[in-house]
Amino acid sequence: MTRFTVNNQAVEYRLDPETPLLWALRDASNLTGTKYGCGVGQCGACTVDIDGRAVRSCQVPIGSIEGSFVTTVEGLSRDRSHPVQLAWMAENVGQCGFCTPGMVMAAAALLKRVRDPSEEEIRASITNLCRCGVYPRIVEAVQRAGRIARGDERVAPVARPGTSPAEASRTVPALTPARDDKAF
Ligand code: FES
Ligand code: FES
């Protein structure tokens, strides 16, 4: 049994302690926002936040993070209001979107450490791969997210048509919508 916290919920995993965190999240917790790309720590599609650091979950045996606090893309905000999410939508970063959850988690972790990162710091910190090649937009979005987080810019929340946190919680049981949540 391995115990740690996922998206603010205490979880006990009855899995082999050598199980990669990626598969515990996807297969046992149904948190499929965290993606499987390469499985060897190269692409960053599986990036989650562990105790404030962006970590590639395919390389982390769950037995090594007993007592840790894990945040996945589903837990970043309840309503896509995290500055990185707002900036990603405003900059229209996503193309196929496969790399997006990992990129967003890496960006969010960077902004916790560096409030106003330079292009060089962003490129050095976020080494995730994007098959669609949206790297210039990622730099723009991370810097815009920094401005939003610092209160220097406001961006209206953008929701995809027909989706709401309540709907997300039906397919992602680890999430619980706020009581006053309404469909967008
Ligand atoms: S799937 Fe983990 S780094 Fe590629
Ligand atoms: S948007 Fe397609 S892999 Fe990055």
Q: Ligand 2: does its nearest atom lie under 6 Å from the Cβ of 94?
A: yes
Query: Could you tell me if 23 and 51 lie in one domain?
Result: yes
Q: What is the pLDDT of residue 78?
A: 82
CB 134 within 8 A of CB 115: no
Question: Does residue 18 fall inside a structural domain?
Answer: yes
Q: What's the 104 CA to ligand 1 centre distance in angstroms?
A: 14
Q: Ligand 1: does its nearest atom lie under 6 Å from the Cβ of 48?
A: no
Could you read off the pLDDT of 6-19 as tens digits, one per residue?
999 999 999 999 99
Nearest Cα to Cα of residue 130 among 35, 63, 27? 35
Query: Could you tell me if 96 and 51 lie in one domain?
Result: no
Q: Please give the mean pLDDT across all residues of the chain.
A: 91
Distance between CA atoms of residues 157 and 46, nearest Å: 25
Summarize the confidence of residues 59-77 as an average pLDDT. 97
Query: Which of 23, 34, 38, 50 for mutating ligand 1's site (highest number of atoms within 8 Å of CB)?
Result: 38
Q: Ligand 2: does its nearest atom lie under 6 Å from the Cβ of 132?
A: yes
Count the Cβ atoms, other than its own, within 10 Å of residue 113. Answer: 12
Measured from the Cα of 129, ligand 1's closest atom is 4
Q: Ligand 1: does its nearest atom lie under 6 Å from the Cβ of 43?
A: yes
Query: Could you tell me if 138 and 108 lie in one domain?
Result: yes
Q: Ligand 2: does its nearest atom lie under 6 Å from the Cβ of 126?
A: no
Question: Does residue 155 fall inside a structural domain?
Answer: no
Domain count, the chain: 2
Query: Could you tell me if 70 and 89 lie in one domain?
Result: no
Question: Does residue 170 fall inside a structural domain?
Answer: no
Q: What is the pLDDT of residue 156?
A: 79
Could you read off the pLDDT of 100-146 as tens digits, one per residue?
999 999 999 999 999 999 999 999 999 999 999 999 999 999 999 99
Quick check: 180 pLDDT over 90?
A: no
Q: Structural domain of residue 144, as residue ranges? A: 83-149
Query: Could you tell me if 71 and 88 lie in one domain?
Result: no
Query: Could you tell me if 71 and 8 lie in one domain?
Result: yes
Query: Could you tell me if 138 and 104 lie in one domain?
Result: yes
Question: Does residue 165 fall inside a structural domain?
Answer: no
The CATH number given to whatever domain includes residue 101 is 1.10.150.120
Question: Does residue 38 fall inside a structural domain?
Answer: yes
Nearest Cα to Cα of residue 132 among 161, 103, 157? 103
